[in-house]
A and B are shown apart, each in its own frame.
Chain A
Amino acid sequence: MKLATRIIAALGAAALSLGLAQAAPSGAPVRIGSTLALTGPLSGTAIIHKIVGEIYVDDLNKRDGLLGRPVEWILKDDQSKPELARTLYEQLITVDKVDLIIGPYATPNIIAAMGVAQRYNRVLIHHTMGIPSLAKYDMQFPAWSVGPNPETTVPNTLFDALAASAKPPKTIAIVTSKFPSVYFMSVGAREVAKKRGLQEVLFLEWEFGNKDFGPIANRVKDAKPDFVFVGAIGLEGNQLLEAMKKIDYVPPMHYYMYPAPGPLAKLPEAQGALAASIFEQHPPFTNNPIAAQFVKEYNARAAKAGLPDNSVETQAAASFSTWQVLEAAVTATKSLDDKVLAAWLKQNQVDTIQGRLRFDRANNYGDDLMRVKQVQNGHWVTVWPKEWAAPGAKLITP
């Protein structure tokens, strides 16, 4: 029964996404509310989620909408502030009286929205929660499939990849921002590295917003590690590499936790840089026709919006998956009732462009679907695990 439901839901979503089932939605719109950091320090990434949401809602309305009704996305600007996100979700539920809600961008804002969702017993599907242990609410569902313990599983996947490479590292330097979701992963990586017998030659932390990466680059160079784990978010990775370039230092092997993928790939010094990813726009990911269609649409809209990087990767894919999960639950249950949707999600799996998601482990997390990608000739390519590697791609070591 479970499998049958899953297959029907997946096929239904796929057929709908491909435009095979054409019918004009009618009646009162299904109102879906959310906030995004449209302004403020997180807005550079949140714009990705806005574009993805618009693509998905447009596509839904070109098909049959939800339950045959058109879909209206009520999007508000939380200005990158969790306290404002909390107020706006309250407003979405009590004043705008939306039928459904989905999550905002970034862990602190998601936690804020989760509190409101819990107060009103609403389902909250979210796309970028970086610390699963903080997601205690029973009716929250993560669409970024990092598993319940990413601080262990993600580094393990990385070290597996390195161990299988032509030149496995023996020493490691871990340098990290104290941005909560990044720091949490770096501390986890430190423990995993220790357990796997890598010798730690340096561990450094910096405050998020650090301006001067020169001294950090100096210390990494001085420590002479085989491998540098950079707990960086956004452009911190670029800033560190720029600082390294100024002292003529090239890290032998280097990994970045949550980099700004486009700018990092374009940096010549980033050749060989590694990072985690759930999706890259190359086969086998794009063998999925829904993914291929989304990549095409996203590339065009992101270019039109003036984004410096138009590629679909983790953020866009997680965002798309959120809408896929929501659509699958509503379509399968033919309901907008939060409790019905939550019950269905707990018992079923959903096929998304990042892979099959399930929500039956701790805090409704499922499998860790994070893979390892590498900058090769100015482009990100997945290199690990082998079954998700880009055609002909393998991890390059110095």
Chain B
Amino acid sequence: MPSFTLLAQSVLSGIFIGALYGLLGLGLSLTWGMLRQINLAHFALAFLGAYLTFQLTHGAGWDPLATLLVVVPCFFLLGASMHWLFARFAITPFNSLLVTFGLTVIVESLIQWIWTADQRLMDSAYGAVRFKLGALYVPLPELLTLVLAVALSLAAWAGLRYTDLGRAMRAAAEDAPIAAAFGVNERSLSLLLSGISAAFAGVAGLCIALSFTLAPSQIYAWIGVVFAVVMIGGLGNPIGPLVAGIVIGISESLTMALTSPAWAPLVSFSLLIVVLLARAKKI
């Protein structure tokens, strides 16, 4: 019989990994739901962000959090540029899947060329810090991931809900011609949203670098579960991926604690099938 500490620590681990799923899913969900782009390159951008964080921390001695000052604006421009290209060549949603897959392969090769295929592990002062809550341990890198995921998800939600810009984005996503008739500049807003989503990928990259081993091929390890998180959380919903991510994270962790860890990958897809069946009429 597993101990209470084991179960509680597993739930905590699940919350932390789930927060990262949610953070990775946030930008993907927004571009998919509001721009009708299935952006597989989001994962490649997250890893590019992770490698840049690694480089700035190891090579230039920056504090990992300070790397966001460079990564976020750069990725914003990168995301906006990508969207400009997609719009320029009128990429359809289905074709966006193929094009962004191609971009992912290119970014993977670029990462491999610069940092080689060897696995990299970022040592930072944060890595060694952990807090104790009774018998439970709370590592700082994972805590930072949770804080960033919650803060960005709430900020995105509030921005879309309560600001004129956010309302305009939602209106453009709902019906672009009608929104344009009311003076909404859909093109500019799309660029802005793409930029923000890419910046979210950069932040997720920081969290990946803080807690995980980096290898170019790891880009693909996250796609399945994060896609499930986005589908379960609802497309274009900024809070949904976080909630779905935490649910999947806890489920996976408890599966690992109570049965065999080898069963954990089945959890996200089993949940996805259940949710898709339950929502069958809405699809």
Q: Which residues of A contact B16 (CB under 8 A)?
A: 214
Q: A39-B109, A44-B117, A214-B9 are in contact. List 9 more A-B contacts (CB 8 A).
A: A44-B119, A205-B261, A207-B261, A207-B264, A215-B14, A216-B261, A219-B6, A222-B3, A248-B130
Contact indicator per residue, chain A 26-48, by CB within 8 Å of chain B (1) or not (0): 00000000000001110110010
Q: Which residues of B contact A211 (CB under 8 A)?
A: 17, 212, 221-222
Q: Which residues of B contact A246 (CB under 8 A)?
A: 130, 137, 139, 142
Q: Closest CB-CB distance, A186 to chain B, in whole Å?
A: 12
Interchain CA distance A308-B212 in the complex, whole Å: 17
* A209 closest partner in B (C-beta): B221
Identify the stretch in B40-48, B191-199, B250-258 within 8 Å (CB) of chain A at 4 or more residues: B250-258
Q: Which residues of B contact A209 (CB under 8 A)?
A: 221
Contact (Cβ within 8 A) B253 A306: no
- Residues in A194-236 with C-beta less than 8 Å from chain B: 204-207, 209-212, 214-216, 218-219, 221-222, 234-235
Question: With A234-B119, A247-B137, A263-B121 as given contacts, are A239 and B13 in contact (CB-CB < 8 Å)?
Answer: no
* B130 closest partner in A (C-beta): A246
Q: Contact check: which of B13, B17, B217 meets A41 at CB < 8 Å?
A: B217
Q: Contact check: which of A205, A210, A218, A239 meets B6 at CB < 8 Å?
A: A218
> Which DSSP category, helix, strand, loop or mixed, fits chain A's interface?
mixed
Q: Which residues of B contact A218 (CB under 8 A)?
A: 6, 9-10, 13, 257
Contact (Cβ within 8 A) A39 B117: yes
- Residues in A292-313 with C-beta less than 8 Å from chain B: 306-308
Interchain CA distance A46-B252 in the complex, whole Å: 33
Cβ-based interface call for A364 (8 A): no
Cβ-based interface call for B5 (8 A): yes
Q: Which residues of B contact A247 (CB under 8 A)?
A: 9, 137
Q: Closest CB-CB distance, A364 to chain B, in whole Å?
A: 31
Cβ-based interface call for B116 (8 A): yes
Q: Closest CB-CB distance, B118 to chain A, in whole Å?
A: 4
Q: Contact check: which of A40, A178, A205 meets B117 at CB < 8 Å?
A: A40
Most buried by B among A47, A214, A219, A242: A214
Q: Closest CB-CB distance, B146 to chain A, in whole Å?
A: 13
Q: Which residues of A contact B119 (CB under 8 A)?
A: 44, 234-235, 260, 263
Contact indicator per residue, chain B 1-34, by CB within 8 Å of chain A (1) or not (0): 0110110011001101100000000000000000
Q: Which residues of A contact B95 (CB under 8 A)?
A: none
Contact (Cβ within 8 A) A212 B17: yes
Contact (Cβ within 8 A) A308 B256: no
Cβ-based interface call for A271 (8 A): no
Interchain CA distance A235-B119 in the complex, whole Å: 7
Q: Which residues of A contact B116 (CB under 8 A)?
A: 43-44, 47, 306
Q: Which residues of B contact A206 (CB under 8 A)?
A: 256, 260-262, 264
Q: Which residues of B contact A242 (CB under 8 A)?
A: 121, 127
Interchain CA distance A350-B118 in the complex, whole Å: 32
Question: With A43-B117, A205-B262, A207-B262 as given contacts, are A215 and B222 in contact (CB-CB < 8 Å)?
Answer: no
18 residue pairs A–B, Cβ–Cβ below 8 Å? A40-B117, A41-B217, A43-B112, A204-B260, A205-B260, A206-B260, A215-B13, A215-B257, A218-B6, A218-B257, A219-B6, A221-B6, A222-B2, A234-B119, A242-B121, A242-B127, A247-B137, A306-B116
User: How many residue pairs bridge A and B at CB < 8 Å?
Assistant: 105
Contact indicator per residue, chain B 76-95, by CB within 8 Å of chain A (1) or not (0): 00000000000000000000
Interchain CA distance A291-B119 in the complex, whole Å: 27
Interchain CA distance A235-B13 in the complex, whole Å: 20
Cβ-based interface call for A238 (8 A): yes
**How many interface residues does A have (CB within 8 Å)?**
36
Cβ-based interface call for B177 (8 A): no
Cβ-based interface call for B184 (8 A): no
* A246 closest partner in B (C-beta): B139
Q: Which residues of A contact B222 (CB under 8 A)?
A: 211
Q: Closest CB-CB distance, A171 to chain B, in whole Å?
A: 17
Contact (Cβ within 8 A) A178 B137: no
Cβ-based interface call for B213 (8 A): yes
Q: Closest CB-CB distance, B26 to chain A, in whole Å?
A: 18
Cβ-based interface call for B265 (8 A): yes
Q: Which residues of B contact A222 (CB under 8 A)?
A: 2-3, 5-6
Cβ-based interface call for B215 (8 A): yes
Contact (Cβ within 8 A) A41 B261: no
Interchain CA distance A210-B222 in the complex, whole Å: 10
Contact indicator per residue, chain A 246-271, by CB within 8 Å of chain B (1) or not (0): 11100000000000100100000000
Q: Which residues of A contact B14 (CB under 8 A)?
A: 215
Q: Which residues of A contact B264 (CB under 8 A)?
A: 206-207, 210, 212, 215
* B118 closest partner in A (C-beta): A44
Q: Which residues of A contact B10 (CB under 8 A)?
A: 214-215, 218
- Residues in B86-140 with C-beta less than 8 Å from chain A: 109, 112, 116-121, 127-128, 130, 137, 139
Q: Which residues of A contact B256 (CB under 8 A)?
A: 206, 212, 215-216, 219
Q: Which residues of B contact A308 (CB under 8 A)?
A: 118, 120
Name the 7 nearest CB pairs between A and B, nearest first: A215-B256, A214-B13, A43-B117, A206-B261, A41-B217, A246-B139, A44-B118
Q: Closest CB-CB distance, B121 to chain A, in whole Å?
A: 7
Most buried by A among B16, B130, B256: B256
Q: Which residues of B contact A215 (CB under 8 A)?
A: 10, 13-14, 252-253, 256-257, 261, 264
Q: Which residues of B contact A221 (CB under 8 A)?
A: 6
Interchain CA distance A212-B262 in the complex, whole Å: 11
